Amino acid sequence: MFPNRIDTPVLHPNMHNPFIPSFRLIQLSRAVRLLTIITLLLFSCSQLTSAQTRRVQGDSFSEKGARPDTLVGDDSLLRRMEEVHATLNRINNVTDRGFDTHDIEQGLPDIQANLQVIKENLTLYNRVLNTRNLQMFKVLLGDMQQQINDWRSQLFDYNDNLLSMHSKMETFMRDTMLNQLYKDTLFRRLYQNELTDIRKKWKLATQGTSTNLTKINELQASVSNSYFLAMELQQQIRQQLRKTGVAALGQEYACIWNIHEDTTSAGVVAMARKSYNSQRRVLQYYFKKHNDNWLWILLTGALFFAWVFSNYRKVKKAGVDISKADFTFTYLTPLPILASVVILFNAAPFFDLNPPSVYVETMQFFLLITLTIFFKRNGEPVFFKYWLVMVGLYIALAFTNVIVTPGKLLRISLLLIHLASVGFGWKLLQYLRKQKALKGFVRPITIVYIVFNILAAFCNIIGRLSVAKVMGSAAIFGLTQMVGLTIFMQLLTEAFYLQMIASRIKGGVKAVFDYDKVQKGLNRLLSVIVIVCWIIIFTTNLNLYNALYSIISRTLTRSHTIGSTTFSIGNIVLFFAIIYVSNILQKYVGYFFGETSGDFSGEMEKKGSKLAILRLTVLLIGFLLAIAASGLPVDKITVVLGALGVGIGLGLQNIVNNLVSGIILIFEKPLQLGDFIEVGDKKGKVRDIGIRSSRIITSEGAEVIMPNGDLLSGRVVNWTLSNNHVRTALTFTIQPVEQLDLARTAIMDALQEHESLIQKMPADVLVSAINDAQVQVTARFWVSSVYKEHEVRSELLLSIYQRLKGNGIKVM
């Protein structure tokens, strides 16, 4: 039934079976077939694993845009992971450190509050605001706008950095290679730790950038709101200033003979009180914002005190009595505390080029107090009485300016004050005619003071009260300020004179110097400074400084074009101003470092070439600063220098030769200041080594000006190059000849006893001519200083003559 079935008999183990060999062959055949199948299976699995591995590598390491079968090496993979690590670390470091917004967060609320105060004053209290208040608000708003602009720029930079970080992270998110690597299970097993670290850093970076970006955006919104509010308030102030200016020119109140009783409402007074309280808060912001100026102001006063105090100590230590000097010290004292405070408050308003008027008035008030103490201790009693009257008028006018809507009593009082000021100004003018110290500047300002008070009284009478207040205040403020600036100028003049005395004591120089020559140049420079400072203060009190500043600024900064060259008037003015100041400094700088006047007598300490180098440095720095201030481009300057080169080649050879020779003399040092030189038939002491020429002062007192080219190219004998020693000789004709030995002994004794001769270098007494009747003897000796040669020769001639005559020797 089952033909194919094979019945296998059951055999006993010990029974002999004739079919055993066939059975073994069948088993071996089956084993071979099974082994073959296993081998085929293993080979197939191996091929499948290799293909899968190649597919994993091709999918995992292929970059964006590459073909799927492209293979990427392990080094590219590691570089990509390192790039991700480095970028995320940098982002996390920045976000963890955060952005420096502390100043913005601290300062923005103050600015926002101050803007609201100004807005309230312009909206609610505009009836009590005058031109001075509006000018103050304008200056403060400009200051706030500048601060807000700086913050906006800072926040924009922070925002750009955050957006750049966010963009970099988005680039990694779109990276095809990184996305495939994260999807690959085999890669995740191989780099599990690295991927976990990247995932953590990615999360931190995402949170950090998001948090910082939100914070920066919020600050940007707040700062921008404040910026636009400040611009809006600036526009309102400009409009109100125009209205106020037009209203001030018209009649604000009735004429003084038509005024009625005071009808000022309590509401207006309360409004004015609230306005002043709010304005005080705004001023506190200004003082807080510019507190760094006070550091410079205090430093200025401290430097002046240290300068004067140290010079007084040097003079006192040297035993010099400056009270006997030709120059009179009127206000400077050995302990210049008050003088330093006067310098401090005079300079305070000018550390800010555009200060609010209230700030200027505050500095003036402090200066007023200081000058009162100063005049009490150092001033004349008569002038001190005049000064007390000035202080009283100052306080009275300052008080009247506070009142918003004056009534009949106040207007009459203000009129009386102005008329009294006119009378006081006339009396002060008579007094100043006899005074020299205050006559120069205070007298013309007193005339201005009288004129302005007359105009103020007239404006008060016809109802222009705002103009009357401004003119009266400006008049008294201008007068007191000019008194302070005059004292400021006098203190600096005395301090410079003290410096000149101290520098000569330090150098051991006892020769006199001509201070009048220096004082003229110094007074000229200080006078310009004083006039400019007074104009700034006076126009500020007249509420005209901002307008004047704008007009001058636009005029000086407006660009002009000639050909291809663009320039401004301000650059030209600044160029010549720097050149002028540099010339003044190099001309007088030597006086402040011990340089003496042109006298030949006395031994001058050698200054080497320090002063000449200092002068050259001042001129060079001044020239470079002037070129930089001119705004000319380098190529234009090159053209100018080329044109100068042509001019030099045509006719300026001698001038350039002298200039170059002067520079060579300064650095090569063949001669120094104070050297005793001989050039041709001229012999004298080097007085000055300039850039173009040098000066020599002869023993007769004449000053010889010699071009530097002649000194460098000619034959120069320097008697004091290495020392001041000079060898000289005296010749005597004596008789009788028999007493020659006695005469030589007498001459040698006189030479050995003189203090100004150098005994280490022995003198000689030689016979220069002889005959039966007489003998000529020459004494040669070394004098310690060439400057004492004539004096020593005179003393020795007299001494030797007396000795020879005492020994009975006749001198022919």
End-to-end Cα spacing for the chain: 186
User: Per mean pLDDT, which range of 19-28, 479-488, 656-665 is the poorest?
Assistant: 19-28
- Rounded (to 5) percent helix, strand, coil in the chain: 70, 10, 20
Which pLDDT band holds residue 14 (cuts at 50, 70, 90)? very low
* Phi, psi at 372, each rounded to 5°: -60, -45
Is the pLDDT at 46 greater than 50, yes or no? no
Are the C-beta atoms of residues 360 and 350 closer than 8 Å to each other? no
Question: Using CA atoms, how far apart are residues 474 and 591, in angstroms rounded to an integer?
Answer: 40
CA-angle at 47, arms to 45 and 52, nearest 5°? 95
What the block records as the tokens of 37 is: 């199948």
Is the pLDDT at 792 greater than 80, yes or no? yes
Question: Using CA atoms, how far apart are residues 115 and 223, in angstroms rounded to an integer?
Answer: 12
- Cα 232 to chain centroid, rounded: 35
Rounded (10°) angle between helices 789-806 and 740-753? 140
* Phi, psi at 433, each rounded to 5°: -65, -25
Mind listing the domains of the chain with CATH numbers?
Answer: 74-129+138-236 (no CATH), 291-502+520-557 (no CATH), 565-718 (no CATH), 726-811 (3.30.70.100)
pLDDT per position as a tens digit, 191-214: 666 667 677 777 777 777 777 778
Are the C-beta atoms of residues 287 and 436 closer than 8 Å to each other? no
Is the pLDDT at 254 greater than 70, yes or no? no
Are the C-beta atoms of residues 231 and 115 closer than 8 Å to each other? no
Are the C-beta atoms of residues 226 and 148 closer than 8 Å to each other? yes
Q: What average pLDDT does range 695-719 have in this prediction? A: 80
Which pLDDT band holds residue 454 (cuts at 50, 70, 90)? very high
Question: Using CA atoms, how far apart are residues 233 and 724, in angstroms rounded to an integer?
Answer: 77
Residues shown for the chain: 812
Is the pLDDT at 704 greater than 90, yes or no? no
Average confidence score pLDDT of the chain: 74
Question: Using CA atoms, how far apart are residues 478 and 446, in angstroms rounded to an integer?
Answer: 9
Is the pLDDT at 781 greater than 70, yes or no? yes
If we measure between CA atoms, which residue out of 412, 369, 375, 377 comes closest to residue 394?
369
Cβ-Cβ contacts under 8 Å for 733 (sequence gap 6 or more): 774, 775, 776, 777, 811, 812
Is the pLDDT at 360 greater than 90, yes or no? no
Which pLDDT band holds residue 353 (cuts at 50, 70, 90)? low
Are the C-beta atoms of residues 742 and 750 closer than 8 Å to each other? no
Is the pLDDT at 354 greater than 50, yes or no? yes
The DSSP bridge pattern shows strands 775-783 and 703-707 to be: unpaired
Question: Using CA atoms, how far apart are residues 351 and 422, in angstroms rounded to an integer?
Answer: 33
Structure confidence at residue 305 (pLDDT) = 92
If we measure between CA atoms, which residue out of 480, 477, 492 comes closest to residue 340?
492
pLDDT per position as a tens digit, 612-651: 777 778 888 888 888 777 776 666 666 666 766 666 666 6
What the block records as the tokens of 582 is: 């540099």
- Cα 546 to chain centroid, rounded: 24
Are the C-beta atoms of residues 289 and 476 closer than 8 Å to each other? no
Which pLDDT band holds residue 759 (cuts at 50, 70, 90)? confident
Cα dihedral 644, 646, 648, 653, rounded to 10, equals: 170
- Residue 259: other Cβ atoms inside 10 A: 16
Structure confidence at residue 6 (pLDDT) = 34
Is the pLDDT at 659 greater than 80, yes or no? no
If we measure between CA atoms, which residue out of 689, 644, 676 comes closest to residue 785?
676
Amino acid at 455: L
pLDDT per position as a tens digit, 161-196: 777 777 777 676 666 666 666 666 666 666 666 667
More confident residue, 671 or 273: 671
Cβ-Cβ contacts under 8 Å for 621 (sequence gap 6 or more): 582
Q: Count Cα atoms within 13 angstroms, Cβ side, for 807.
A: 21
Are the C-beta atoms of residues 360 and 318 closer than 8 Å to each other? no
| Percentage, residues of the chain above pLDDT 90 | 5
Structure confidence at residue 42 (pLDDT) = 46
Structure confidence at residue 363 (pLDDT) = 82
Indicate the burial class of 97 (C-beta count within 10 angstroms; 0-12, 13-18, 19 or more): exposed
pLDDT per position as a tens digit, 278-312: 667 767 777 777 777 788 888 988 999 999 999 88
Strands (E), 710-763: 716-718, 726-735
Q: What average pLDDT does range 325-337 have in this prediction? A: 80
pLDDT per position as a tens digit, 363-384: 888 889 999 998 888 777 888 8
Identify which of 316-325, 352-361, 572-581 has the greatest average pLDDT. 572-581
**3-state DSSP assignment of residue 145:** helix
Question: Using CA atoms, how far apart are residues 792 and 645, in angstroms rounded to an integer?
Answer: 53
Cβ-Cβ contacts under 8 Å for 9 (sequence gap 6 or more): none
Structure confidence at residue 2 (pLDDT) = 30
Which pLDDT band holds residue 24 (cuts at 50, 70, 90)? very low
pLDDT per position as a tens digit, 798-811: 888 888 888 888 88
Question: Using CA atoms, how far apart are residues 141 and 229, in angstroms rounded to an integer?
Answer: 10
* Phi, psi at 559, each rounded to 5°: -80, 140
If we measure between CA atoms, which residue out of 276, 286, 352 comes closest to residue 537?
352
Are the C-beta atoms of residues 673 and 606 closer than 8 Å to each other? yes
- DSSP code, position 61: S
Q: What average pLDDT does range 399-424 have in this prediction? A: 80
Question: Using CA atoms, how far apart are residues 415 and 621, in angstroms rounded to an integer?
Answer: 56
- Residue 203: other Cβ atoms inside 10 A: 11
Question: Using CA atoms, how far apart are residues 485 and 448, in angstroms rounded to an integer?
Answer: 16
Give kind and range of the element (H or E) at residue 297. helix 291-317
Handedness of CA 59, 64, 66, 71 (dihedral sign): negative
Are the C-beta atoms of residues 404 and 128 closer than 8 Å to each other? yes
Is the backbone peptide bond immediately before 736 cis, with ω within 30 degrees of 0? yes
Rounded (10°) angle between helices 337-347 and 291-317? 150
Are the C-beta atoms of residues 140 and 282 closer than 8 Å to each other? yes
If we measure between CA atoms, which residue out of 140, 520, 559, 547 comes closest to residue 359?
140
3 state SS for 554-575: HHHHCEEEECCEEEEHHHHHHH
Are the C-beta atoms of residues 424 and 476 closer than 8 Å to each other? no
Are the C-beta atoms of residues 535 and 553 closer than 8 Å to each other? no
- Cα 75 to chain centroid, rounded: 56
Indicate the burial class of 587 (C-beta count within 10 angstroms; 0-12, 13-18, 19 or more): middle
Is the pLDDT at 447 greater than 70, yes or no? yes
Which pLDDT band holds residue 11 (cuts at 50, 70, 90)? very low
- Cα 637 to chain centroid, rounded: 26
Question: Using CA atoms, how far apart are residues 486 and 439, in angstroms rounded to an integer?
Answer: 10
Question: Using CA atoms, how far apart are residues 341 and 601, in angstroms rounded to an integer?
Answer: 42
